[in-house]
């Protein structure tokens, strides 16, 4: 087994950073997320390989919250359109958990498959090498296993780190992973170490049959009841590693300007606002229902899997305590109303 001591981790990141922009999990003041190692300030930032996960999901690395698409300039009768150069520096997401790796796999489905390849997403995604950190100690609100994610074997990872006593095992899985291994070869030792027994999950849920069942529950009174506490704030979608909705908007000054896309959320009224003034999801209940239907039914119908990796963020972050695990249970227990 290839192995390195915990004390070596910064050296390893430093080395990888010679050839790529390396994103690492940090607490940065009040924030918690994956930030570029280039921006690491030891007086202010705190590396958190010892914590379960970062609060803000890493999806912004492949799908930035705001992204310019092209700019335009109208000169007389002519319109000059300038495509935006997408920065293509290679990068490494270092220490990402299985749930968040799976989320990137789902984004890949959305942006690469079913006849359309999104060039902005592709440009960024192609540059990513994933160094995942296997989970032997799931958090209180983790339920990835229930959602078909293996916390120890993230599929799309190029390298898997396995925490062991005093160090990490480095396990390369792909060609991209092997390139990184070469780069840090002298920092790795060959050593037989004992892997931890994975701890049990505190929370579990059974998703079987939920997508099918939801087909009959669109008009069920449960949505009214369970959406009562929801403030339609959108935190659950912005903090979710899988939510990928975006809007395309424009900024212009006189004759020139640019188009950009930015994250959007089905929890917002504006999301379904139509030009004529009609809004098919005017009420909070309708928006609340859409979030669960998209995650648990519609996405499954299109891609054969729910749009939830069980990372638990929405459960933790919802200011009103709305809990997708509980929602799945309630859906399973609901009597279809005729």
Question: Which one, 139 or 177, has the nearer CB to ligand SF4?
Answer: 139
Q: Which of ligand SF4, other proteins, none binds 179 (CB below 5-8 Å, type-dependent)?
A: none
| 65 near other proteins, judged by CB under 8 A | yes
Asked whether the beta carbons of 34 and 58 are under 8 A apart, the reply is yes
Question: Which one, 79 or 202, has the nearer CB to ligand SF4?
Answer: 202
| 140 near other proteins, judged by CB under 8 A | yes
Which residue from 9, 101, 307, 325 is in contact with other proteins, where contact means CB under 8 A?
325
Locate 27 and state its tokens: 């607490």
| 234 near ligand SF4, judged by CB under 6 A | yes
Nearest distance from C-beta of residue 314 to other proteins, angstroms: 11
| 268 near other proteins, judged by CB under 8 A | yes
How many CA within 13 A on the CB side of residue 94?
26
| 95 near ligand SF4, judged by CB under 6 A | no
- Site stretch for ligand SF4 (CB under 6 A), options 2-10, 16-24, 235-243, 326-334: 235-243
Closest CA to 31 of 46, 14, 41: 46
Q: Which of other proteins, ligand SF4, none binds 165 (CB below 5-8 Å, type-dependent)?
A: none
Which residue from 247, 255, 282, 301 is in contact with other proteins, where contact means CB under 8 A?
247
Question: Which one, 24 or 211, has the nearer CB to other proteins?
Answer: 24
Q: How far apart are CA 331 and CA 209, in angstroms?
A: 10
Which residue from 91, 127, 146, 242 is in contact with ligand SF4, where contact means CB under 6 A?
242
Asked whether the beta carbons of 163 and 133 are under 8 A apart, the reply is yes
| 240 near other proteins, judged by CB under 8 A | no
Q: How far apart are CA 169 and CA 181, in angstroms?
A: 12
- Site stretch for ligand SF4 (CB under 6 A), options 112-120, 123-131, 135-143, 207-215: 135-143
Q: What is the DSSP letter of 89?
A: -
Q: Which residues contact 57 (CB under 8 A, 6 or more apart)?
A: 33, 100, 103, 239, 240, 241, 311, 313
Question: Which one, 49 or 303, has the nearer CB to other proteins?
Answer: 49
Q: Pairing state of beta strands 167-172 and 2-5?
A: antiparallel
| 143 near other proteins, judged by CB under 8 A | no
Judged by DSSP in three states, 97 sits in: coil
| 39 near other proteins, judged by CB under 8 A | no
Beta bridge partners of 2: 170, 190
Long-range contacts of 28-36 (CB under 8 A, 24+ apart): 31/55, 31/56, 32/56, 33/57, 33/58, 33/60, 34/58, 34/61, 34/93, 34/96
Judged by DSSP in three states, 326 sits in: helix
Q: How far apart are CA 246 and CA 111, in angstroms?
A: 12
| 162 near ligand SF4, judged by CB under 6 A | no
List contacts with ligand SF4 (CB under 6 A).
52-53, 97-99, 135, 138-139, 142, 144, 151, 230-237, 239-245, 265-267, 291, 294-295, 308-314, 318-320, 322, 324
Residues at the contact surface with other proteins, assessed by CB under 8 A: 27, 29-32, 46, 48, 51-56, 65-66, 139-142, 203, 225, 228-229, 231-235, 238-239, 247, 249, 251, 260, 262, 265, 268-270, 273, 284, 312, 315-317, 319-323, 325-326
């Amino acid at each position: 087994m290839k192995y390195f001591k915990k004390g070596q981790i910064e050296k390893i990141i430093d080395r990888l950073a010679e050839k790529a922009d390396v994103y690492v999990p940090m607490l940065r003041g009040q924030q918690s997320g994956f930030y570029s190692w280039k921006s690491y300030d030891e007086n202010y930032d705190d590396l958190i390989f010892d914590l379960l996960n970062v609060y803000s999901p890493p999806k912004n690395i492949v799908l930035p919250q705001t992204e310019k698409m092209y700019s335009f300039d109208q000169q007389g009768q002519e319109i000059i359109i300038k495509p935006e150069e997408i920065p293509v520096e290679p990068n490494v997401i270092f220490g990402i958990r299985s749930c968040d790796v799976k989320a990137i796999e789902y984004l890949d489905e959305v942006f690469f498959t079913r006849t359309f390849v999104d060039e902005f997403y592709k440009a960024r995604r192609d540059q990513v090498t994933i160094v995942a950190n296997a989970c032997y100690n799931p958090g209180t609100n983790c339920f990835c296993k229930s959602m078909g994610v293996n916390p120890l074997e993230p599929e799309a990872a190029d390298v898997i780190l396995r925490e062991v006593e005093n160090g990490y095992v480095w396990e390369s899985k792909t060609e991209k992973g092997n390139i990184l291994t070469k780069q840090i070869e002298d920092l790795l030792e060959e050593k037989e170490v004992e892997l931890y027994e994975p701890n049990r999950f505190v929370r579990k849920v059974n998703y079987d049959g939920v997508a099918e069942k939801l087909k009959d529950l669109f008009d069920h009174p449960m949505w009214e009841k369970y959406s009562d506490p929801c403030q339609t704030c959108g935190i659950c979608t912005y903090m979710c590693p899988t939510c990928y909705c975006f809007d395309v908007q424009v900024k212009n000054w006189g004759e020139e300007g640019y188009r950009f896309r930015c994250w959007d959320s089905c929890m917002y009224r504006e999301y379904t606002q139509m030009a004529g003034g009609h809004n098919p999801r005017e009420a909070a209940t309708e928006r609340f229902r859409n979030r669960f239907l998209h995650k648990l039914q519609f996405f499954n119908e299109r891609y054969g899997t729910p749009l939830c990796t069980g990372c638990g963020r929405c459960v933790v972050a919802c200011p009103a305590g709305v809990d997708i695990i509980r929602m799945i249970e309630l859906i399973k227990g609901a009597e279809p109303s005729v």
